[in-house]
Chain A
Amino acid sequence: MIGIVNYGLGNVSAFARIFHRLNVPFCLAGTRRELETADKIILPGVGAFDWAVEKLHDAGLAEPLRDLVLGERRPFLGVCIGMQLMAERSDEGERPGLGWIQGEVERLNGGPTTMLPHMGWNDVLVRFEDPLFEGLHEAPRFYFLHSFHVSPLREQDILATADYEETFVCSVRVGNMYGVQFHPEKSHESGVRLLRNFAQL
């Protein structure tokens, strides 16, 4: 059962619809009890960093997530802000992140004429073979909508990068925990395949 963290942010119903279509059991998890029934967890999210941190703490879900994901090593996928929350802190806000991955969240660089947010379909360059990206093209395209990105301290945590004025990290993996900066729930067939791969881990 996939638990989609329901803390008031992120396109929860888009994930739900995709899993429904794939015949993968899922639940919307807004409490510790609901999270505990999930053997894999997805943390969606859009919006500003501090807002997301507050929402997660207000929902009382930060601790249960730590217990299940860090403690019990249940497979985890952070999406967009959900990935950024895995970091220690963000340039976008004041609150600390979950600190599950060494590194910070930084603003996308570029010249004075760089348009932000990074908005649209871009190629994802996967660094090494991983079950999350199985069956996809060599450089699959996904939809991005963000101005900040995670900068992991450890090279080995980097799973994929993308190019927008600079090369930046758009996917990480630390053991049982994955993060993707792009939106698989809004990336047509590439996204559906990635989510199916996650469900089949």
Chain B
Amino acid sequence: MLRPRIIPCLLVKDGTLLKTVEFGPGKYLGDPLNAARIFNEKAVDELVVFDIGATTDQREPNYPLIEELATECRMPLCYGGGVKAAEQVEKIVGLGVEKVAISSGVVDCPGLIKDASRRVGAQSVVTVMDVRRTSEADGEVFSHNGTRSTGLSPTEFASLAEEQGAGEIVVNSISRDGCMCGYDIELVRKVREATSLPITALGGAGSLQHIEDLIKALGIIGAAAGSLFVFKGPYRAVLLNYPSETEKDKLLSRARTQIQNSSDRPSV
């Protein structure tokens, strides 16, 4: 039976690992390659690496770093940051990356998703929506590291991404970024109802219980987290961590039991 995915998400800027809160200035954490090695040893389901400086600094993706990360990982790797052209997607996949994430490019570069999907297959093209809760009922999708509003609601963005031929959507809550207070499950649910693409939630996870809650609510989903897997304790000491196989089995089994027991279970 297909399992929900539990995914560490690493943020990189200028080749360095960092962590943000509400997309604010980052706290330095160390070497991304070392982090990839550690998560590799912990046999994580997938790894996501976002270069948050690439688009705003208008740089090309950091290909040497991407290649090093790709050869290190014995699990699927998703890279995002500064991807504006289908050739870049093809190049990154050629370096050994399973999936390429596009955020600002979805709105700024019409035809990008379609062209990229044609070349590398839809399964390798991920769209990321950074959502800020605003006066709009469902929130608004922002780009460029949360600095520019796209004018689209999350469901509008999801439909657009699906139309363009993406293979997955990451729903990233800016408001919950770094808060460790739980996923914005209602936001993710709205997107789930608007598309049949696989979805990964990001932003807000502070404990394995939050991941369990997400899976109970939404069934098959990707549960991505930054702070949860890089910090430990109330003082946020840097300690890369991930549930063991046993902890994961228990979490998934509890979540599934809840889904089976509830009368209006979501489609899985």
Contacts and interface: CB of A to CB of B under 8 A. Distances in A.
Interface of A: 8, 11-14, 17-18, 46-48, 51, 81, 111-123, 141, 143-147, 163-164, 183, 185-189, 191-192
B162 to A, nearest CB: 11
27 contacts: A13-B67, A13-B95, A14-B70, A14-B71, A17-B74, A46-B93, A46-B121, A46-B124, A47-B93, A47-B121, A48-B119, A51-B119, A113-B267, A115-B197, A115-B220, A116-B198, A119-B123, A120-B3, A120-B45, A121-B2, A123-B1, A143-B76, A186-B74, A187-B75, A188-B74, A188-B75, A192-B74
A118 B2 contact: yes
Interface in B92-128: 93-96, 98-99, 117-124
A82 B4 CA distance: 26
Contact of B70 (A11, A141, A187): A11
Contacts of A189: 43
B167 interface: yes
B260 interface: no
A18 B3 CA distance: 25
B56 interface: no
B2 A48 contact: no
A187 B198 CA distance: 20
Most chain A CB atoms below 10 A, which of B2, B46, B98, B198: B2
Contacts of A123: 1
Contact of B123 (A117, A121, A186, A188): A117
Contact of A113 (B3, B95, B168, B196): B196
Number of chain B interface residues as a range: 35 or more
A147 B122 contact: yes
Contact of B120 (A47, A141, A163, A164): A47
A81 B93 CA distance: 14
B5 interface: yes
Q: Which 4 A-B pairs have the closest CB atoms?
A: A47-B121, A117-B123, A113-B267, A13-B96
Contacts of A13: 67, 70-71, 95-96
A92 to B, nearest CB: 9
A114 B117 CA distance: 20
Nearest to A11: B96
A146 B123 contact: yes
B74 A14 contact: yes
A117 B76 CA distance: 14
Interface in B110-154: 117-124
A18 B120 contact: no
Given A47-B124, A115-B220, A147-B122, A186 B75 contact: yes
Interface string B218-249: 00101000000000000000000000000000
Contacts of B119: 47-48, 51
Contact of A117 (B118, B120, B122): B122
Nearest to B76: A186
Contacts of B3: 120-122, 141
Given A120-B45, A122-B3, A186-B76, A114 B196 contact: yes
B5 A120 contact: yes
B161 to A, nearest CB: 14
Given A186-B75, A188-B74, A147 B123 contact: yes
